Amino acid sequence: MGRIIDILNQDTHFCDGLNSCMNCGVCTAVCPAAEFYNYDPRVIVDTVQRGDESEIEELLKSNTIWYCGECMSCKPRCPRGNTPGEVIMALRKASIETGLFVESEKGRQQFAIKRAIADSVLGVGYCVSPDIAVPEKHPEQGPVWEWICANKEQVYERVHANYDGNGAGALRHVDEASLNELKEIFKVTGGTAFMESIEQCSKEKAAALGMDIEEYLHETYTFNSGGDGYGNNE
């Protein structure tokens, strides 16, 4: 016992983000996630502040901690200098480190994000690129984006980009040496291990649910049960 609190206390986001909450609710009033989800940063901060290990463990297993948009709108407004968004970042990291993220629908989405963003960082050197934001996965981007993707070379050349080219310029191809440096940094700093643990826990969860990994990936990317944020689906 006390394990999760110990993990949190080693996290600079947690230490910097939580002083002493007076439950005023200002963070909730300005929070864009609270506006559209059944989500309340004040309640989360208060739960964490009470320090009850089993309540915190419940949080790590719940959908609740995954609604925040990390916009940090709460930071300049909190009269006590707390940042609920940073507390959330620490809770999410702890949820991944303890493997509890696979216990909730929203937590399981980390797998889809890992496969899209983290793999892109190490694969091409960018979080986002025209090659990953494909129209099939982004119908909301509309017909102009579809047109750009269908004619990438010509459109990007017209607007002075260096798409997939050598040397400087927008959308240049990141050279092998730089990509290798990125990979080394990920290895040395724990980034690779962190990503691998998302991958591993997700594979185990997929097996437990009787899904193959591609099916699980699709499910975590698209499924929304309309749950209320407190683990209830109705």
Partner 1 sequence: MDMVTTNNRQWEKYQKEIADDRYYYARSCIRQTFFPGSEWAFIDILRNKLGKDIFDDPKHTTCTGIGYHSDVVPFQTTMTVVARHFALMTEAGYANITPSCITSFGIYTEILHAWEEHPELLERVREDLYKATKREFDVPKNLAHTSDVIYKFRNQIAMQMVHPLVDVHTGKPLRVVDHIGCHYAKMFPSKGVGGAEFPAVLSGMVDAWGGECIDYPERRHCCGFGFRNYLVQANRGYSVANSMKKLESMEPYEPDFIVTNCPGCGMFLDKWQYTISEMSGKTYGKNGYGIPVLTYEEMAGLVLGYNPWDLGLQMHQVAVEPLLDKMGIDYDPEKKYCDADGKLISLPKCPTFLKQ
Residues that bind ligand SF4 (CB under 6 A): 21-27, 30-33, 41-42, 45, 68-74, 78-80, 82, 84-85, 88
At residue 65, φ and ψ (nearest 5 deg) are -75, -5
Q: Does residue number 222 form part of the binding site for partner 1 (CB under 8 A)?
A: yes
CA distance 146 to 10: 45
Read off the DSSP letter of residue 67: -
Give me the residue label for tokens 């496969």.
115
Q: Which stretch binds partner 1 (CB under 8 A): 2-10, 19-27, 51-59, 126-134?
A: 126-134
What would the DSSP string read from start to end of 126-192? -SS-TTTS-TTT-GGGHHHHHHHHHTHHHHHHHTT--TT-SSSSTTPPPPHHHHHHHHHHHHHHTHH
Q: Does residue number 194 form part of the binding site for partner 1 (CB under 8 A)?
A: yes
**Residue 5 interacting entry, from partner 1, ligand SF4, none, C-beta within 5 to 8 Å by type:** none
**Residue 216 interacting entry, from ligand SF4, partner 1, none, C-beta within 5 to 8 Å by type:** none
Choosing from 2, 54, 140, 234, the residue that interacts with partner 1 (CB under 8 A) is 140
Choosing from 181, 196, 204, 215, the residue that interacts with partner 1 (CB under 8 A) is 181
